[in-house]
């Protein structure tokens, strides 16, 4: 690669990083707002009554709430943690997480544009299968899950920092109290404060991989072929989450790449596993560790890997049995994206930028500006990486 080509690719990587974050920002804001409101307005007694058990009603409520609050993976993680800390069962909280990242209307539209209606059906049917399989796997492996310890860790984060509204105060009074809304604003600030370093590094790496790693690498990574065997299909379903773990481009950014892969011989199961893998990427593992502890984070990772591979295989052979597997010729191999078009994303982002500014101002006015990096060597190393990422992006915007 020549020096000129390197600078042009560097510029493309910076634009891609900013574009991916711009596309997802309103979803971050929406998810963190919901999480903050749950923490402030919902009492533990009320949450335990509604979703404290792992029965069908609680799982259905978690799925419904997740669908209604569909958002990016980081914001969904925060919402699930808030429900779990408030007393929701672990399975309903995970149902919320899976629904809010897979039963997403906007994701379905992007999939329809790039891949076709069969993949849209696979996304939504697969989202339901993921929740049902998660329910089964967690029930079978519950002795391995440190649920009580994880809940204590999640509650310790909830109980720190901003104070909670009086649990005995009527909800109507809470909704009209400026003090309570101030607590929501501080919670919103704290959600961003907890993950900004992970988000910065994750999106920067996504942009670098999208720009610098050639498509032929991903085509080589997956085992292709016009007539793959069962073992070939299984291998591709296993490679999908492995590729996603290190790329972290996210579901929205993965769809164009998925179209390229499908057009180059990757099986339907491999593509669906790749799309489903937004919750098994490295930054998500780190955030889960921060929320629940490392043991629970690895448990969740293991459960999600099992269910997404199983779901991908069930979808592949279910569609094959019904004669619904799409042809690679039908896929639109379109990889260029217009990140900054004047559309609904602009107006939603403007609204959440204003909301974020208000919440930051409220927090700083009441608590001052916290400039601490965070305790522990890992947090300090991540802070250094985040600073390098900002330097990379700033320079990248002006080169090429």
Give residue-wise pLDDT tens across range 35-45. 788 777 876 66
User: Within a 10 A sphere around the Cβ of 169, how many other Cβ atoms?
Assistant: 13
Q: What is the pTM of this model?
A: 0.72
Confidence label for 335 from pLDDT (cuts 50, 70 and 90): very low
**Would you say residue 156 has pLDDT above 50?**
yes
| 80-89, 153-162, 342-351: segment of lowest average pLDDT | 153-162
**Would you say residue 221 has pLDDT above 60?**
yes
C-alpha closest to that of 86 among 133, 26, 39: 39
Question: What's the average model confidence in pLDDT over 234-255?
Answer: 73
| 15-24, 229-238, 243-252, 391-400: segment of lowest average pLDDT | 243-252
Confidence label for 363 from pLDDT (cuts 50, 70 and 90): confident
Q: What is the pLDDT of residue 160?
A: 55
Confidence label for 334 from pLDDT (cuts 50, 70 and 90): very low
Question: What's the average model confidence in pLDDT over 74-100?
Answer: 88
**Would you say residue 333 has pLDDT above 50?**
no
Question: What's the average model confidence in pLDDT over 67-76?
Answer: 72
Confidence label for 201 from pLDDT (cuts 50, 70 and 90): confident
The Cα–Cα gap between 117 and 135 comes to 27
User: 283 and 326 in contact (C-beta within 8 Å)?
Assistant: no
User: Within a 10 A sphere around the Cβ of 226, how many other Cβ atoms?
Assistant: 6
Could you tell me which residue, 337 or 294, shows the higher pLDDT?
Answer: 294
User: 16 and 211 in contact (C-beta within 8 Å)?
Assistant: yes
Query: What are the residues whose beta carbons fall under 8 Å from the beta carbon of 100, sequence distance 6 or more?
Result: 31, 65, 66, 67, 69, 70, 71, 75, 76, 79, 80
Question: What's the average model confidence in pLDDT over 177-183?
Answer: 81
Q: What is the mean pLDDT of the chain?
A: 81
Q: What is the pLDDT of residue 378?
A: 67
Question: What's the average model confidence in pLDDT over 82-89?
Answer: 88
| 97-111, 133-147, 152-166, 300-314: segment of lowest average pLDDT | 152-166
**Would you say residue 161 has pLDDT above 70?**
no
Q: What is the pLDDT of residue 264?
A: 66
Work out the percent of the chain whose per-residue pLDDT is above 70. Answer: 80
Could you tell me which residue, 169 or 30, shows the higher pLDDT?
Answer: 30
Question: What's the average model confidence in pLDDT over 196-214?
Answer: 79
Q: What is the pLDDT of residue 169?
A: 63
| 11-20, 137-146, 345-354: segment of lowest average pLDDT | 11-20
Could you tell me which residue, 214 or 320, shows the higher pLDDT?
Answer: 320
**Would you say residue 351 has pLDDT above 60?**
yes
Confidence label for 158 from pLDDT (cuts 50, 70 and 90): low
Could you tell me which residue, 371 or 86, shows the higher pLDDT?
Answer: 86
Confidence label for 328 from pLDDT (cuts 50, 70 and 90): low
User: 366 and 182 in contact (C-beta within 8 Å)?
Assistant: yes
The Cα–Cα gap between 60 and 73 comes to 20
Query: What are the residues whose beta carbons fall under 8 Å from the beta carbon of 262, sequence distance 6 or more?
Result: 115, 268, 271, 326, 328, 331
Q: What is the pLDDT of residue 295?
A: 96
| 109-118, 131-140, 221-230: segment of lowest average pLDDT | 221-230
Confidence label for 383 from pLDDT (cuts 50, 70 and 90): confident
Confidence label for 322 from pLDDT (cuts 50, 70 and 90): very high
SS3 of residue 267 by DSSP:
coil
């Amino acid at each position: 690669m020549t020096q000129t080509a390197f600078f042009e690719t560097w510029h493309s990587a910076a634009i891609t990083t900013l574009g991916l974050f711009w596309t997802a920002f309103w979803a971050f804001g929406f998810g963190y707002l919901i999480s903050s409101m749950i923490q402030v307005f919902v009492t533990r007694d009320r949450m335990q009554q509604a979703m404290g058990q792992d029965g069908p009603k609680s799982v259905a409520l978690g799925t419904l709430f997740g669908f209604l609050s569909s958002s990016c993976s980081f914001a969904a993680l925060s919402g699930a943690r808030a429900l779990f800390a408030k007393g929701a069962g672990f399975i309903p909280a995970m149902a919320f997480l899976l629904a809010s990242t897979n039963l997403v209307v906007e994701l379905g539209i992007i999939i329809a544009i790039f891949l076709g209606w069969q993949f849209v059906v696979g996304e939504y049917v697969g989202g339901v299968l993921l929740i049902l399989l998660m329910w089964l796997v967690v029930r079978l492996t519950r002795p391995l899950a440190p649920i009580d310890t994880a809940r204590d860790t999640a509650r310790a984060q909830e109980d720190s920092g901003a104070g909670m509204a009086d649990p005995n105060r009527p909800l109507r009074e809470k909704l009209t109290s400026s003090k309570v809304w101030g607590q929501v604003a501080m919670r919103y600030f704290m959600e961003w404060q907890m993950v900004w370093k992970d988000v910065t590094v994750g999106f920067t790496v996504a942009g670098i991989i999208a720009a610098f790693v050639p498509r032929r690498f991903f085509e080589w990574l997956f085992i292709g072929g016009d007539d793959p065997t069962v073992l070939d299909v299984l291998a591709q379903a296993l490679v999908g989450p492995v590729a996603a773990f290190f790329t972290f481009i996210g579901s929205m950014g993965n769809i164009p790449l998925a179209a390229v892969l499908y057009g180059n011989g990757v099986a339907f199961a491999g593509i669906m596993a790749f799309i489903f893998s937004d919750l098994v990427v490295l930054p998500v593992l780190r955030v889960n560790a921060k929320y629940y502890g490392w043991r629970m984070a690895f448990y969740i990772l293991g459960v999600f890997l099992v269910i997404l591979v199983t779901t991908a295989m069930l979808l592949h052979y279910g569609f094959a049995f019904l004669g619904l597997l799409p042809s690679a010729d039908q896929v639109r191999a379109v990889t260029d994206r217009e990140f900054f078009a004047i559309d609904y994303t602009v107006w939603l982002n403007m609204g959440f930028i204003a909301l974020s500014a208000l919440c930051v101002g409220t927090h700083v006015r009441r608590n001052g500006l916290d400039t601490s990096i965070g305790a522990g060597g890992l947090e300090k190393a991540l802070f250094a990486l985040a600073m390098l990422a900002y330097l990379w992006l700033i320079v990248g915007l002006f080169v090429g």
